[in-house]
Structure 1
Amino acid sequence: MDNGVEERLLGLEEQEESDIKQRIWVELKLMWRIAFPSILARVTAFGMIVVTQSFIGHVGELDLAAYALVQSILLRFSNGILLGMSSATETLCGQAFGAGQYHMMGIYLQRSWIVDFVSATILVPLFVFTTPIFRLFGEEEEIAVESRPIGLWMIPILYSFVFSLTLQMFLQAQLKNMIVGVLSAFSFVLHVLLSWIFVNILDFGVAGAMGSFNISSWLMVFGEFVYVFGGWCPNTWKGFKKAAFYDICPVIKLSISSGIMLCLELWYNSILVLFAGYLKNATVAISAFSICLNICAWEFMICLGFLGAACVRVSNELGRGNAKAAKFSIKVVLGASVCIGVIFFALCLAFGKQISYLFTSDEAIREEVSSLSTLLAFSILLNSVQPVLSGVATGAGLQGTVAWINVGCYYVFGVPLALLLGYVADLQVKGLWIGLLGGVLMQTLALSILVWRLDWDGQVKKASERLNRWFLDSSEETN
């Protein structure tokens, strides 16, 4: 081979390498434009739950255990349903934005409000009858009784989810979610300030912490309403339309499959908290398990930002009909998420024993939390992969398939393993957490295989068929 040919080949290789670097850089900028505001919003929104737990934990051990049960089981259960059903908004709005069907996004948003509001209303009795529910589950009588006032305080929080989750996904699909991050961060700071005033200065106790939680949550929702209704989304929000009440059955179907997908995931942790209540020294077990789960879930909010980025990028590219770009975006988002996961894994290993001091002054709970720190670190590492793969499935509209994967990995494998290790092997809380970790590992492997073998050209066709089936032009929308 002469020198001229070799030089041309080297030049082509350098050009290809330069093109790949440029593509990665462009994709990273797009990803962070979606992921950073989403991470900020989710971390601060979940941070309000953790801050509330921290203030209640310093009120009393019994109050902390009651809050842990209501939040970890009932609120997480309800949030799973509403978050899952709201992810239908994420799929539909993301694909509509990619296809240029902007006016349909507002209609999809209104349909999701209808579906989510009815769902939230059905869930209200869970928070009204917390004491008999926890008695039925066999929890300690003192904890069950103490849970009632906390459950009633949670009802307004439940309805705030109906709007905050759907509005965030509506804005995220059109790359306007920075406002969500700013509002959420402001609400978080306000919540910390109000909690300190109500609990530490005015000595309102549990009522002060929960009142602050409600005020801060609804303030964020009102801010999002002002942004959407005030004219900052002129192409995607055309006002309230009667069309929102038509063709709602397909939205319900997609919402239910989305809800089941995420519910099975979030309930998995809640069920294990419930089982922690049957271990020796239940108050300590529930409190320690809940603290570790909330730390893990708080870091998981960062990963949910990458989930949102993966969902939006995949749904946008499928809406545009570009399967190759969708696959490329998956690789970039997954790589970034894993890098962040490794950093938090190292931090958790280094400072795992000091974490408990933020939440409680009870020495027994602190020791139990410290003993779980290594398992917590590995859970955080897995969190960097699994949510991105779930986001890819959501962007492609494969929520039903993921729901079946969750059933097998979590409830056929994970829960029995947790019970076996926790009770039969007498590993107590550690056994429950190892079982939890095993189920997540199985789900991550299954989702990896699903995404690897997916027919992306077929997904482009399905996205096109879905959008065309529900498309309304301007005259149809008005009529």
Structure 2
Amino acid sequence: MSSWRKQVCEETKKQLWLAGPMVFVSVFQYSIIIISLIFVGHLDKLLLAAVSLATSFVNVTGFSVMLGMASALDTFCGQSFGAKQYHMLGIHMQRAMIILTIVSIPIAIIWANTRSILILVGQDPEIAAEASTYTRFMLPSLFAYGLLQCLRRFFQTQNIVFPLMWTSGITTLLHVIICWIMVVKFGLGSKGAAVANSVSYWFNVTILSLVVKFSPSCSKTWTGFSKEALHKLRTFVKLAIPSAVMVCLETWTFEVMVFLSGLLPNPKLETSVLSICLSTATLVWMIPFGFSGAGSIRVSNELGAGHPWNARLAVRIVLVLAIIEGILIGTVIILVRNIWGYAYSNDVEVVKYIATMLPILAASNFLDGLQCVLSGIARGCGWQKIGAYVNLGSYYLVGIPTAVVFAFVLHIGVKGLWLGIVCALIVQVCSLMIITFRTDWEQEANKATDRVYNSATPESSS
């Protein structure tokens, strides 16, 4: 019993040690776009509307795709590190960088035609034109963002998280200065904010690349550029595509909710309330996302090392941590429900509406934390294809149709839209929970071993 308790304590410490810095990394990287939005928002309402629309557009068409495809490295790098095939982490990262750079080219073409696309879907021409300008100046950041996500996975899968934290922190502080210079000092408006984003992302990529090159902690995992990275690209793509689908299906759902809120009676109020709820949900979601990363790392490392029972223990502990976190954060949300709205608006009607929404938000946050952690476990095991099917069924067969019924048939408004999200999360959590607890972990460890050696070339294996 004492040995079992010791294992539990050690595993808990490992996960908390990983999750803490990862929360800060997520917050810092998310802050880049928000800081730019704040600077532009103080200039003009038109610019604020345009940049908000452009931000949504680039997230849907570009950043979510890059994030999803890069998450395939959670499986490849994590399991290779556990199997002590350290040099393969550098190879996998190079493969990912090649593929993501290639994928960025058609996305860049889409971004270059933002104005036409936005007008085609019914957006105001003036806002669409300004949003298009912002998006075009964001083009360099698209390529940087893909490389940044690859570097992030390279570090975190080998349990190196503090360099990620301090480089992200430095980048965020620098971004405030760059934004002030570009937007305020030079008076470049939204163009300056977009350029600041690109500069900050490339700065982060550069400084992390230098850490990879010169840090002793990466000496085993980075052995330089290799032609080996040009081989087995199809193996990476086969996992990267369902990884992207898994992430995008979930991300796009919330954009659909924003669109639907604009069709409700009193759309200004409903859209404002939904935007505040989404902003709040994204903020608190950063915490379980940190645990998700920790769970993914621990599960993939243990499976790669051939330790199925340790992987199962890691799964159980990260789920317990997610439940505790969800209860604590949910309690805080409910306690501040009557005053939280004042952080966004002085309109009493908006504040009262937010107060009625936050208990529902607390419930969705609890469920979202669980699904976030379960999705991390799925990435660690290489279940991205299964996760994509689960997300498709949860959000598009259950969530969105239910939201439409609640909001437009039962006339519950934004509450109905958010209840649709809650229904989707319930289905998603139950599905992933059943899959997780019915898993044969010895078989998963064998699959991990096969994946590690099948993704290597014969020269590398020898």
Structure 1 residue 275: deviation in Å?
2.5
Tell whether the 8 Å contact from 2:75 to 2:300 is kept in structure 1 after alignment: yes
What pairs with 1:199-238 in structure 2 (closer than 5 Å)?
199=183, 204-232=188-216, 233-238=218-223
Letter in 1 for 2:176: V
Cα distance in structure 1, aligned partners of 2:58 and 2:386: 25
What pairs with 1:71-150 in structure 2 (closer than 5 Å)?
71-150=55-134
Give the secondary structure class of the aligned counterpart of 1:384: helix
Letter in 2 for 1:406: N
Q: Is the deviation greater in 190-199 or in 69-78? A: 190-199
- Does residue 400 of the first structure (1) align with residue 385 of the second (2)? yes
What pairs with 1:291-440 in structure 2 (closer than 5 Å)?
291-352=276-337, 354-356=339-341, 358=343, 369=354, 372-440=357-425
Tell whether the 8 Å contact from 2:243 to 2:385 is kept in structure 1 after alignment: yes
* Pick aligned residue for 1:40 from 21, 24, 28: 24
Structure 1 residue 447: deviation in Å?
0.8
Tell whether the 8 Å contact from 1:190 to 1:216 is kept in structure 2 after alignment: yes
Tell whether the 8 Å contact from 1:69 to 1:273 is kept in structure 2 after alignment: no
Letter in 1 for 2:160: K
Tell whether the 8 Å contact from 1:81 to 1:263 is kept in structure 2 after alignment: yes
Give the secondary structure class of the aligned counterpart of 2:219: coil
Letter in 1 for 2:360: L
- Does residue 271 of the first structure (1) align with residue 271 of the second (2)? no
Tell whether the 8 Å contact from 2:289 to 2:369 is kept in structure 1 after alignment: no
Letter in 2 for 1:421: F
Tell whether the 8 Å contact from 1:84 to 1:261 is kept in structure 2 after alignment: yes
Structure 1 residue 434: deviation in Å?
1.7
Q: Matched residue pairs, number?
A: 461
Cα distance in structure 2, aligned partners of 1:224 and 1:313: 22
Tell whether the 8 Å contact from 2:183 to 2:190 is kept in structure 1 after alignment: yes
CA pair 204-196 structure 1, distance change in 2 beyond 3 A: same
Structure 1 residue 115: deviation in Å?
1.0
The aligned counterpart of 1:154 is 138
Cα distance in structure 2, aligned partners of 1:40 and 1:240: 30
CA pair 155-468 structure 1, distance change in 2 beyond 3 A: same
Letter in 1 for 2:151: L
Q: Is the deviation greater in 462-471 or in 441-450? A: 462-471
CA pair 337-478 structure 1, distance change in 2 beyond 3 A: closer
Tell whether the 8 Å contact from 2:135 to 2:194 is kept in structure 1 after alignment: no
Structure 1 residue 88: deviation in Å?
1.1
The aligned counterpart of 1:64 is 48
Tell whether the 8 Å contact from 1:51 to 1:192 is kept in structure 2 after alignment: yes
Letter in 2 for 1:152: R
Q: Is the deviation greater in 203-212 or in 256-265? A: 203-212
Give the secondary structure class of the aligned counterpart of 1:238: coil
Q: Is the deviation greater in 208-217 or in 308-317? A: 208-217
Tell whether the 8 Å contact from 1:69 to 1:274 is kept in structure 2 after alignment: no
Letter in 2 for 1:325: N
The aligned counterpart of 2:147 is 163
- Does residue 258 of the first structure (1) align with residue 243 of the second (2)? yes
The aligned counterpart of 1:11 is none
CA pair 220-141 structure 1, distance change in 2 beyond 3 A: same
Structure 1 residue 53: deviation in Å?
3.1
CA pair 326-340 structure 1, distance change in 2 beyond 3 A: same
Letter in 1 for 2:86: Y
Q: Is the deviation greater in 258-267 or in 102-111? A: 258-267
Give the secondary structure class of the aligned counterpart of 2:71: helix
Letter in 2 for 1:71: T
CA pair 202-352 structure 1, distance change in 2 beyond 3 A: farther
- Seq. identity, %: 32
- What TM-score, normalized to structure 2? 0.92
Cα distance in structure 1, aligned partners of 2:11 and 2:461: 38
Cα distance in structure 1, aligned partners of 2:308 and 2:450: 15
Structure 1 residue 280: deviation in Å?
4.2
Cα distance in structure 2, aligned partners of 1:231 and 1:453: 41
Name which one, 1 or 2, has greater alpha-carbon Rg: 1
The aligned counterpart of 1:12 is none
Tell whether the 8 Å contact from 1:139 to 1:277 is kept in structure 2 after alignment: no
- Does residue 30 of the first structure (1) align with residue 14 of the second (2)? yes
The aligned counterpart of 1:52 is 36
Tell whether the 8 Å contact from 1:33 to 1:175 is kept in structure 2 after alignment: no
Deviations 1:334-382 (A, max 9, x none): 2222222222222222334544555567787666655533333222222
Give the secondary structure class of the aligned counterpart of 1:385: helix
Tell whether the 8 Å contact from 1:241 to 1:478 is kept in structure 2 after alignment: no
Cα distance in structure 2, aligned partners of 1:243 and 1:144: 44
Give the secondary structure class of the aligned counterpart of 1:372: helix
Cα distance in structure 2, aligned partners of 1:225 and 1:283: 45
For structure 1, the 5+ residue unaligned runs are 1-15
Letter in 1 for 2:450: E
The aligned counterpart of 1:470 is 455
Cα distance in structure 1, aligned partners of 2:113 and 2:142: 15
Cα distance in structure 2, aligned partners of 1:119 and 1:454: 33
Structure 1 residue 193: deviation in Å?
4.2
* Pick aligned residue for 2:432 from 438, 447, 454: 447
Deviations 1:422-448 (A, max 9, x none): 223333333222212221221111111
Letter in 2 for 1:229: K
Q: Is the deviation greater in 460-469 or in 233-242? A: 460-469
Tell whether the 8 Å contact from 2:453 to 2:461 is kept in structure 1 after alignment: no
The aligned counterpart of 1:191 is 175
For structure 2, the 5+ residue unaligned runs are none
The aligned counterpart of 1:244 is 229
The aligned counterpart of 1:9 is none
Q: Is the deviation greater in 220-229 or in 418-427? A: 418-427
- What TM-score, normalized to structure 1? 0.89
Cα distance in structure 2, aligned partners of 1:141 and 1:280: 23
The aligned counterpart of 1:6 is none
Tell whether the 8 Å contact from 2:83 to 2:304 is kept in structure 1 after alignment: yes
Letter in 2 for 1:300: W
